[in-house]
Amino acid sequence: MGAALAVLVGVGVYGLLRGPALAHESTRPAAAATPRPEFVPVAQPRPLPRSREPEAFARAAAAAMFGWDTRSSASSSEWGQVLVDAADADEAAGLAADVRAYLPTIEQWEQLRTYGTRQWLTIDTAHVPDAWATAVTQAAPGQIPPGATAYTIVGVRHRAGTWADQPTRTESRVTFTVFIACADGEACRLLRFSRLDEPLE
């Protein structure tokens, strides 16, 4: 896809989780008076639904990136594989790196498993950022694949688990950009994810 998208996405490895996430993660507790979305446990990772509708596909990819359950038999890499399986062939390696950056490491996963941690995302908004039009205008021919677009997602990451024998739930606001390609007559494919909380505006 070339330098245009690489500059927008940025490359780097960063951790979402530090130690026992439910005990030390900097999040705000869910307000008792606020209705919380119900979490329906998923026994195993599920493939992304095939779609030709860009926003629907971007939302599904965003939900899959944040949706996992350490109580299942699947590893963190297996949860992430469903995203890589939906990648555009030319961007698979870069997307795999993005997925690894968002998901817990093997060590973190095993630690989170002791708390029965599960995570999911509530999406508030999904929109094509103004910066995307600028990127398309400035890109050289061939740098951006046909049908490519970007959706900036704003939502709330939810986590639940058990800490000191007590059920615990936390929420934290997140924002990021999903880059996808939906060529005419073809199912959408994933390109890249921006760094967490560093979306295109």
87-134 confidence digits (pLDDT tens)? 999 999 999 999 999 999 999 999 999 999 999 999 999 999 999 999
What confidence score (pLDDT) does residue 43 get? Answer: 62
pLDDT on residue 41: 52
The pLDDT > 70 percentage for the chain reads 79
Write out pLDDT tens, residues 45-89.
Answer: 999 999 999 999 999 999 999 999 999 999 999 999 999 999 999
pTM of the predicted model as reported, rounded to 2 decimal places: 0.81
Whether the predicted pLDDT of 4 surpasses 70:
no
Phi and psi angles of residue 80, each rounded to the nearest 5 degrees, phi first: -75, -25
The answer to whether domain 3-10+51-193 has CATH 3.50.4 is no
Q: Identify the pLDDT of residue 2.
A: 47
Query: What pLDDT score does 195 carry?
Result: 97
